[in-house]
Amino acid sequence: MNEVEIKFDDMKTLSECIDKAATHGYVEQFSVDENGLRNFDGSKHYLPDEVKITNFYRFEGNSDPEDNSILYMLATNDGTKGLLVDAYGVYSDQKIGAFIVEVAELHQPDNGTAE
């Protein structure tokens, strides 16, 4: 999977970023359940080793902590590209957080140690 560099510097809102990501093929709306990452209609599930985070963007509310959110741009091993939105901080979804941590850990560079 190739990483995509999409510049969001001029994007101020979550909806603007979602629209821009869609122009780059990130059209699936993902969620996380007990079986892993799922597509919108639930017909496909992905395990952490089948997913790569290609980019993410954080939104910080100026006056309300409930406005804090994060947009993940994800690509799967079958070529599906889509978005996953979560709050961050105290309002984050624990299932999403745990899944994203697993995905990120799988894609960490090798630290050069061997067992």
Q: What is the pLDDT along the chain (115 residues), one digit of tens a residue?
A: 444 455 555 557 888 999 999 999 999 999 999 999 999 999 999 999 999 999 999 887 665 555 689 999 999 999 999 999 999 778 889 999 999 999 999 877 765 554 4
Q: Tell me whether residue 2 is exposed, middle or buried, using C-beta atoms within 10 angstroms of its C-beta: 0 to 12, 13 to 18, 19 or more.
A: exposed
Predicted confidence at residue 31, as pLDDT, reads 97
| Pair of tokens at residue 35 | 């079986």
Q: Does 7 map to a domain? A: no
Q: Does 2 map to a domain? A: no
Domain count, the chain: 1
Predicted confidence at residue 9, as pLDDT, reads 55
Q: Does 44 map to a domain? A: yes
Per the listing, tokens 């957080």 go with 97
Q: Does 112 map to a domain? A: no
Q: Does 77 map to a domain? A: yes
Q: Does 101 map to a domain? A: yes
Task: List the domain range (segments joined by +) for residue 95.
Answer: 14-106
Q: Does 31 map to a domain? A: yes
Q: Does 6 map to a domain? A: no
**d(C-alpha 37, C-alpha 35), whole Å:** 7
Predicted confidence at residue 42, as pLDDT, reads 92
| Pair of tokens at residue 60 | 């910080």
